[in-house]
Structure 1
Amino acid sequence: MKQRFHFFATCPRGLEAVLSDELQQLGAEEVAATDGGVAFRGDWALMMTANLHSRIASRILWSLLEKPYRSEDDIYRAARALDWPELFSVERTIKVAVTGIGCKLRSLDFVALKVKDAICDAFRAAVDARPSVDTVAPDMRIHVFLTEKMLTLYLDTSGDALFKRGYRRETGEAPLRENLAAGILRLTGWQPGEPLLDPMCGSGTFLIEAALIARGIAPGGKRSFAFERYPQFDADAWARVKEAALAKERPVESISIYGSDDNAAMLSICRTNLAAAGVADCVELSRADALERSAPAEQGVLVCNPPYGIRLEEQESLAVLYPLLGHALKQRFAGWRAYYFTGDLRLAKLIRLAASKRTVLFNGGLECRLFEYRMVAGSNRKPA
């Protein structure tokens, strides 16, 4: 399908700029970032390519209509006017999700019900049957976005969120989402071949995403997508997109990605996930305390997602840990760029180092920071 369509790629807040760059590199047109995602235009092949290759997007949504509204009935009529049976078959299960910014209507749940009714009424009129609703694992996800005066209806081309790469076998507590980890790696400026270390690697999300980048492996290569269930799906075109992706994969030349953790059980989980992703030979793992870990090279990038303190005793132990982390960086990582991603904003003060950059990011609804420390001997230490 050479016709150009309007799409919207959602992403964790704070990653809109790097997602814009990524989509442009994939060939997207009319790229425009907004809060929570990036609008763009492209043909069907680009939509498939974005789903397969985007490391940062959460979903690729196909924009079906955008028009003003004043009431729930306006929304029903707009949704009812679409030719839903042309978009997917009545056997497909559906789910309608509604979000709004500045919307004055009383209930977003009621809007979801009206859109669901419009879809079912369209199918009844066309084929004398209606699709079933599945709120857990639907075949088709319909997204409704409302501002104060405008309605946008989307059909989700991704299905499961794109951070579900298909490689994660086990997790620890509150694992970092894969697309957020990939976006953070992009923000650090790290490039394949440059030494990379995660000294608190946990289940290995940073390490796996870095290894996939280094190998040129498409992040969506181990999963399926909702667009494969569309009536207009072109299996031959999709096969060509996947073949082109496989042709870009590279063998590992030398290991420059390192991970460590002081928890043997977490290292075992990390090894399982690395193997499932097909990149176990790209990463060197070791058991080590982050405070005692030495730099594996003279310079490189250290990236880390330290634990967040929820309970009081955890906050107290972290208040002790942060200055020790700063001391370890100063003693062992001169020449490195260090990045700490955390929802505990006390780190900036307690680590007693001068951050060269602070980037606001969101992990779900939690406001976080990515702190950058450029470790040049003798220049970063703050007075006690």
Structure 2
Amino acid sequence: MLENFFTPCPRGLETMLANELNTLGAQEVRTTDGGVHFTGPFLLSYRINLHSRIASRVLWRVAVAHYRNEQDIFDTAYALPWNDWFGTTHTIRVNMTAIKCPLKSLDFATLKIKDAVCDKFRALTGERPNVDTHTPDVRIHAFLESSRMTLYVDTSGDALFKRGVRQYTNVAPLRENLAAGILLLTGWQPGVPLLDPMCGSGTFLIEAALMSLNIAPGISRSFAFEKLKDFDASAWSDMRRQAQAAQKPVGALPIFGSDLYGDELKAAHLNLENAGLLEAVSLNQANVLEISAPADYGVLVANLPYGERMGDLEELQELYPKLGDVLKKKFGGWNAYLFTSDLRMPKFIRLSVSRRTLLFNGAIECRLFEYKMVAGSNRT
């Protein structure tokens, strides 16, 4: 039996996610702003939770209906067989998002869905599940449009960018699924030298190492689908066993990270160690303006510092042309990818942009700028 699913992702990565879902066996894949719709058997949600590097969640669609008011929302939610999916010992939380919703209060609409779920349980069992807004067992997602509502059960639990390995973060951390998407956008392939000269807590480095060693991003964590009544423990165990068997042994990789700040580098070291990947990555404390290329060719990727990490905008304005000089003089034969929310950067770095990709880091509009540093063209 085919089920309907929706996977949200960082905006700008919808096409990359659709390609990934196709490789994982999804059917009827269709992109929309902020995510991808698809169909497949319920066990497919297990595989995508385990293997997707780009999805933020895997949401199982359980209802689509028209509504005019809060009572319609209550009636639709009440009609669903919640007791078939989880029990009163599980805690719940209802999340609401809306576009062009005519209702006066989304909080009240959220409350109506919670009431419907609890009332349905009380009618069937005499008991009701408790609400836990911090660490619920089951998350129910509602999406309201102008006259249509969609209800989902979250099969993921914690967002999928929480791989279960990164514990130490810096001031402006990059979410893991956005970092993985950026690496895929660069065209980087395992085995090609990769350098992040502003590595912070090491997100690009960890994602690159996971890809290189064919480690499933969800192998170290648990998921909400494990708490549902129809959870197939045997199928899940087989899936995890196959993923572990496909992993490559950890060894030194051509993945290099550096940062000016010792605290940042310490965080990267601890995160790599926690992920069991410390042996795979070379770390070095260095100023990005004083580094040299670690190989004759490769991919340089950097999440350029935000104002709060480097000081005021004038300081960044001084950094950009110096960074451009370093890339010209020392990185011939490399492709550089600079991710930033500062759209003034290309003007000051004084390099020819070969491609720019619109992406969002949460709600922040950003760009990924590509610079192809042709070997030998900048020699004096």
Q: TM-score, normalised by structure 2?
A: 0.97
Name 1:28's counterpart in structure 2: 26
Query: Take 1:184 and 1:104, find their aligned partners in 2: how far apart are those partners?
Result: 37
1:322-341 equivalences in 2 (<5 Å): 322-341=320-339
Q: Give, as a single letter, the amino acid of the residue that structure 2 aligns with 1:239.
A: S
Q: Does structure 2 conserve the Cα–Cα contact (< 8 Å) formed by 1:101 and 1:148?
A: yes
- The separation in 2 between residues aligned to 1:312 and 1:165, in whole angstroms, is 28
1:287-302 correspondence runs (5 A): 287-302=285-300
Which structure 2 residue ranges, 5 or more long, are not aligned?
Answer: none
Match of 1:209 in 2: 207
Counting only pairs closer than 5 Å after superposition, residues 240-255 of structure 1 correspond to structure 2 as 240-252=238-250, 254-255=252-253
**Cross-structure match for 1:218:** 216
Equivalent position of 1:172 in the other structure: 170
Q: What is the CA–CA distance in structure 2 between the aligned matches of 1:282 and 1:330, rounded to whole Å?
A: 28
Q: Which residue of 1 aligns with 2:120?
A: 122
State the AA in 1 paired with 2:229.
Answer: P
SS for the counterpart of 1:151 is: strand
CA distance in 2, matches of 1:313, 1:194: 34
SS in 2 for 1:358: strand
Measured after TM superposition, the shift of residue 128 of structure 1 is: 0.7
Q: 1:267 to 1:313 in 2, by over 3 A?
A: closer
**Contact 1:45/1:241 (<8 A) preserved:** no
Q: Is the 8 A contact 2:171 2:309 kept in 1?
A: no
- Distance in 2 (CA, whole Å) between partners of 1:353 and 1:309 is 22
1:45 Cα deviation from its structure 2 partner: 2.0
Secondary structure of the 2:111 match is helix
Deviations 1:131-183 (A, max 9, x none): 11111111111000011121100000000001111111211112111111011
* Residue 367 of structure 2, aligned match among 360, 366, 369: 369
**Counterpart Cα distance in 2 of 1:344 and 1:134:** 38
| SS of 2:370 mapped into structure 1 | strand
CA contact (8 A) 2:251 2:279 kept: no
> Following the alignment from structure 1 to structure 2, what is the Cα–Cα distance between the partners of residues 286 and 310?
23
From 218, 236, 239, give the equivalent of 1:238: 236
CA drift at 1:253: 5.8
Give the whole-Å Cα distance in 1 for the aligned partners of 2:239 and 2:107: 38
**1:17 equivalent in alignment to 2:26:** no
Matched, 1:38 2:29: no
Q: Are residues 312 and 251 of structure 1, via their aligned partners in 2, closer, same or farther at CA, if it must alter by over 3 Å?
A: closer
The answer as to whether partners of 2:172 and 2:306 remain within 8 angstroms in 1 is no
* Counterpart secondary structure, 1:259: strand
How far, CA to CA, are the matches of 2:53 and 2:37 in structure 1? 16
Q: Deviations over 1:257-279 (max 9, x none)?
A: 11111212221211111011111
SS in 1 for 2:119: helix
Partner of 2:272: 274
- Partner SS state of residue 59, structure 1: coil
Contact 2:332 2:377 (8 Å CA) reproduced:
no
- Residue type of the alignment partner of 1:327: D
For the residue of structure 1 that corresponds to 2:19, the secondary structure is helix
Q: Is the 8 A contact 2:342 2:366 kept in 1?
A: yes
Paired letter, 1:7? F
Instruction: Determine the C-alpha separation between the residues in 2 that align with 1:211 and 1:16.
Output: 23
TM-score, structure 1 length as denominator? 0.96
Using the TM superposition, give the Cα deviation of residue 311 of structure 1 relative to its aligned residue in structure 2, in angstroms.
9.2
In the TM superposition, 1:310-321 aligns within 5 A as 310=308, 313-321=311-319
* 1:54 paired residue number: 52
- Contact 1:32–1:40 (CA<8 Å) still a contact in 2? yes
C-alpha deviation, 1:44, in angstroms: 2.2
Measure how far apart 1:349 and its partner are. 1.1
Task: State the distance in 2 between where 1:128 and 1:216 align.
Answer: 48
Cα offsets for 1:332-365 (capped at 9, x unmatched): 1111110111111111211111111111111111
- One-letter amino acid matched to 1:128: G
Counterpart of 2:190?
192
**Contact 1:20-1:38 within 8 A present in 2 as well:** yes
Query: Matched residues in 2 for 1:310 and 1:103: separation?
Result: 36
Equivalents in 2 of 1:58, 1:311: separation in Å? Answer: 26
How far apart, in 2, do the equivalents of 1:42 and 1:174 lie? 36
Is residue 269–residue 278 contact of structure 2 (8 Å, CA) maintained in 1? Answer: yes
Find the aligned partners of 1:82 and 1:122 in 2 and give their Cα distance. 8
How far apart, CA to CA, are the structure 1 residues paired with 2:7 and 2:24?
13
Who is 2:138 aligned against?
A: 140
Cα separation, 1, equivalents of 2:310 and 2:44: 49
Report the equivalent of 1:162: 160
Query: Which runs of no fewer than 5 residues in structure 1 stay unpaired?
Result: none
Deviation at 1:251, TM superposition (A): 2.2
| Matches of 1:252 and 1:243, distance apart in 2 | 18
